[in-house]
Amino acid sequence: MAIPEVKASAATAPATKPAERKPDPCVVIIFGASGDLTKRKLLPALYHLEQAGLLPKEISVVGVARRPLETTFAPDMKEGILAGGGVDQADPALQPFMDKVSYHAMNFDDDGGYTSLKAMLADIDAKAGTKGNRLFYLATAPEYFADIINALGKHGMNKPEANSASWVRTIIEKPFGHDLESARVLNDDVNKVFAEDQIFRIDHYLGKETVQNILVFRFANGIFENVWNRNYIDHVEITAAEAIGIEGRGPFYETAGALRDVMQNHVMELLSFVAMEPPVSFEASAVRAEKVKVWRSIQPIHPADTVRGQYGPGIVDGKQVVGYRQEDRVHPQSQTETYAALRLEIKNWRWAGVPFYLRAGKRLAKRVTEITIMFKQPPLSIFKDEQGKDAEEIRNNIISMRIQPDEGITLRFGAKLPGPSMSISPVNMNFSYAETFGASSANGYERLLLDAMLGDATLFAHRDGVEATWALMTPLLEYWAKNPIRDLPNYAAGTWGPPTSDAMLKADGRKWRKL
């Protein structure tokens, strides 16, 4: 039976546009621009900012990659912008924006390439008025990050011209390292060339409205924070489920797996927002300090509190799909996990004793990222005549934060069923972003690109944070590498992951919420 629903609506008419924060004129230089990210996310996001009037007039975008794409790059990016949503082919601002997009072909280890890039940027400054401000975006495969950073330093492109008011910043894509040691080495390399306040380690989950809203929900409302602790909360679940497989990224995914690809970064970021103490302000240093405290308070995760899985063939969206080991450029006996689940505990005064269950995986039953806060049951049930089979659904209040899709928040509580008995039915109070504020074509990169242009690092990872999350994951990765499991694949594509994941919660007398 579907659970009855009460809808939330905006109390006052929603503002159509956030307060304007316009960055300085600048050039955005994207290394690895021939990759998917630039076309699917970065250019559409930049154009959404342009549409919202949030970009400076003097902006220029330079794609950098190895292939000779000089004539095809801008038209290709235009296609990406149109596919990114919210843009009409006939939009009069589109072609003028495309005229600001150019391309520079070079090998990342070629000194001559940096010399000519530097000259090109100086030329753009002179013609477009970009004032020497540079935002480098490293969207290459991670093995090139250190080389590019070093070369930028060697060619004096890491700092502004002497005696100028300009700035130079660099955004670095994930994955930032593949374990604690490599993250430390990369941090050292980057910090030799750029000061920490020039570095923007990106996690695109922090660009999502629903993720930022976790902080607003908790810290801009008086009623939730009082119950946001071990006295009232039974446990917390975080699910990052994808229906897609590895989408042709075999060689990358073989070296990554679900723990590195999603758990160490996206899921850990969600966890920190759910669990952190209120920061003293919404400034980068204050927010980052509270996040890092959460990660450092997590007890080392015991291998017995982990589950790994790999998908076999199955049916997704009504179509037969191959198993992970049959994917292109994947080893036929691969041990790489496409599913990971963890149980962990945060040892601090707010959370001691509250289990956090996290799961992330590919080729699961559907795409859903959701945080469930399951509250404790009332101490005593005076209503004996509860309806329905699932007592947990009735007795435990739930706040579920729907990060994506169907973005919103639901509060579940019990209500009296109309009729002559005191029967209880769970009901949902539902807030939907799209219904309340209208649908949006934003992909999350808008806010982060804008913040980096403005020099605001609040929604970016700091060195300490990256190392703290790798410190949690690395022992597990090492244990898993030394202890292969025999029964892979252990879940069929299109299901909710391996049975051992359900068993982990069952051992605690709990179960994953049905999403």
Of 314, 309, 315, 358, the closest CA to residue 334 belongs to: 309
Instruction: Say whether 331 is catalytic.
Output: no
Mask for 341-380, x = binds ligand BG6 (CB under 6 A): ----------------------------x-----------
Q: Is 242 in the site for ligand BG6 (CB under 6 A)?
A: yes
Q: Is 327 in the site for ligand BG6 (CB under 6 A)?
A: no
CA pair distance 458, 7, nearest whole angstrom: 32
In angstroms, the Cα distances linking 357 to 410, 508, 510, 513 are 19, 11, 10, 11
Tokens for 348, please give them: 């601090």
CA pair distance 102, 27, nearest whole angstrom: 11
Tokens for 18, please give them: 């956030």
- Interaction with ligand BG6 in 162-221: which residues (CB under 6 A)? 174
- Binding ligand BG6 (rule: CB under 6 A), the pick from 234, 261, 305, 386 is 261
Q: In degrees rounded to 5, what are phi and psi of residue 209? A: -55, -40
CA pair distance 448, 450, nearest whole angstrom: 5
Q: Which member of 48, 104, 235, 266 is catalytic?
A: 266
Residue 405: enclosing H or E segment and its boundaries? Answer: none
Residue of closest CB approach to ligand BG6: 261
Nearer to ligand BG6, 174 or 463 (CB): 174
Residue with tokens 């799209």: 434
Nearer to ligand BG6, 414 or 494 (CB): 494
Nearer to ligand BG6, 63 or 207 (CB): 207
CA pair distance 495, 74, nearest whole angstrom: 41
* Minimum gap (Å) between residue 35 Cβ and ligand BG6: 12
* Minimum gap (Å) between residue 178 Cβ and ligand BG6: 13
* Minimum gap (Å) between residue 252 Cβ and ligand BG6: 8
For residue 489, the one-letter residue type is: P
* Minimum gap (Å) between residue 201 Cβ and ligand BG6: 13
Total residues contacting ligand BG6 (rule CB under 6 A)? 5
* Minimum gap (Å) between residue 361 Cβ and ligand BG6: 10
Nearer to ligand BG6, 46 or 202 (CB): 202
Residue with tokens 């956030």: 18
* Minimum gap (Å) between residue 429 Cβ and ligand BG6: 26
Q: In what order do the strands lie in the sheet with 101-105?
A: 101-105, 59-65, 26-31, 134-138, 168-172, 199-201
Nearer to ligand BG6, 94 or 271 (CB): 271
Strand runs labelled E in 300-452: 306-309, 311-312, 314-316, 319-321, 339-345, 355-361, 368-375, 398-404, 408-416, 424-432
Nearer to ligand BG6, 180 or 258 (CB): 258
Cα 337 → chain centroid: 19
| Active-site residue set | 266
Residues that bind ligand BG6 (CB under 6 A): 174, 242, 261-262, 369
